[in-house]
């Protein structure tokens, strides 16, 4: 059975002292964020990853070795990787999510934002048939974000990210499972996992790590 833990935190849970657990790359990225909410989202994502792995290995969070190397440019802004486990991090609005599994995973959350240019984004990310469906949707922003988070979760599971043309991803790729996750009202979230069978998902609150 494929098991996936999905940890959810809120930026209100962040404390400045968590930054002491960051490695030098993370510390540099944390310091470079200008907006306090971007800083908080990034720091909480790092903290959840480090503390979940630390508790599994009975090691201090700061001693966990993470690799964020981008395959494109070598900078430490790529998918987060650790020995012996698969991870995916996502943040939007108040929420920060981390998926942990033995199989490759992709997690994406998006806050419903009435100001987003849905038609523009739909043209860039949806296939013709999907755009046609969207036109008739009762709640267009939500319907769009359901599609978008599913596609993002898929490309985050493979590690391709937005280098992949989202318009070509229709349905569920072979050998993958894609699940919409219940989150706060006003948000949409999806999980993709490379697995032949539907995963057992355990939802966890980051509160217990803090
Ligand atoms: C990854 C990506 C899909 C994230 O989209 P988003 O909705 O803006 O942001 P999210 O909060 O959901 O996800 C961010 C997390 O994705 C992870 N991530 C980064 N690149 C990733 C990739 N290629 N595959 C999977 N996950 C990735 C990181 O862990 C990041 O968290 P961090 O801030 O703690 O480092 C998108 O930013 C992307 O594709 N980026 C890479 C595009 C690329 O290769 N550009 C060239 C860079 S040189
Ligand atoms: Zn890069």
User: Residue 81 pairs with which residues in a beta bridge?
Assistant: 67
Determine whether 134 is exposed, middle or buried from the number of CB atoms within 10 Å of its CB (0-12, 13-18, 19+).
middle
User: Which structural domain, as residue segments, surrounds residue 198?
Assistant: 3-209
Nearest to 154 by CA among 162, 70, 183, 209: 162
Each residue's pLDDT expressed in tens, for the chain with a length of 210 residues: 999 999 999 999 999 999 999 999 999 999 999 999 999 999 999 999 999 999 999 999 999 999 999 999 999 999 999 999 999 999 999 999 999 999 999 999 999 998 899 999 999 999 999 999 999 999 999 999 999 999 999 999 999 999 999 999 999 999 999 999 999 999 999 999 999 999 999 999 999 999
* Residue 114, pLDDT score: 85
Ligand with an atom nearest the CA of residue 161: 1
Decide whether any atom of ligand 1 lies within 6 Å of the 32 Cβ. no
* Residue 202, pLDDT score: 98
Asked if 208 and 13 count as a contact pair (C-beta separation under 8 A), the reply is no
**161: CA distance to ligand 1 center in Å?**
6
The span from the CA of 149 to the CA of 76, in Å, is: 23
**97: CA distance to ligand 1 center in Å?**
13
**Ligand 1 closest atom vs CA 164:** 39
Decide whether any atom of ligand 1 lies within 6 Å of the 152 Cβ. yes
Decide whether any atom of ligand 1 lies within 6 Å of the 73 Cβ. yes
DSSP strand pairing (200-205 vs 176-181): unpaired
Ligand with an atom nearest the CA of residue 93: 1
Whose alpha carbon is nearest atom 44 of ligand 1? 163
Decide whether any atom of ligand 1 lies within 6 Å of the 79 Cβ. yes
Decide whether any atom of ligand 1 lies within 6 Å of the 93 Cβ. no
Q: What is the CATH number of the domain that holds 85?
A: 3.90.470.20
Nearest to 192 by CA among 164, 147, 158: 158
Looking at the structure of the chain, the number of domains it has is: 1
């Amino acid at each position: 059975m494929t098991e996936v833990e999905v940890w959810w935190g809120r930026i209100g849970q962040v404390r400045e002292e968590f930054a002491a657990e960051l490695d030098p790359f993370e510390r540099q990225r944390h310091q470079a964020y200008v907006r306090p909410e971007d800083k908080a989202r990034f720091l909480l994502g790092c903290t959840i990853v480090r503390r979940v792995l630390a508790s599994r290995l009975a090691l201090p969070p700061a001693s966990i070795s993470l690799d964020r190397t981008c395959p494109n440019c070598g900078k430490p802004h790529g998918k987060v990787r650790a020995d012996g486990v698969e991870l995916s991090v996502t943040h939007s609005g108040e929420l920060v999510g981390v998926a942990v599994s033995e199989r490759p995973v992709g997690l994406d959350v998006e806050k419903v934002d009435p100001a987003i240019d849905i038609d523009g984004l739909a043209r860039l990310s949806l296939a013709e048939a999907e755009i046609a469906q969207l036109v008739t949707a009762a709640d267009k922003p939500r319907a769009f974000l359901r599609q978008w988070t599913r596609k993002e979760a898929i490309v985050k599971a493979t590690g391709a990210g937005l280098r992949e043309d989202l318009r070509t991803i229709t349905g569920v790729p072979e050998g993958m499972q894609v699940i919409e996750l219940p989150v706060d009202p006003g948000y949409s979230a999806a999980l993709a996992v490379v697995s032949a069978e539907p995963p057992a998902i355990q939802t966890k609150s980051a509160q217990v790590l803090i």
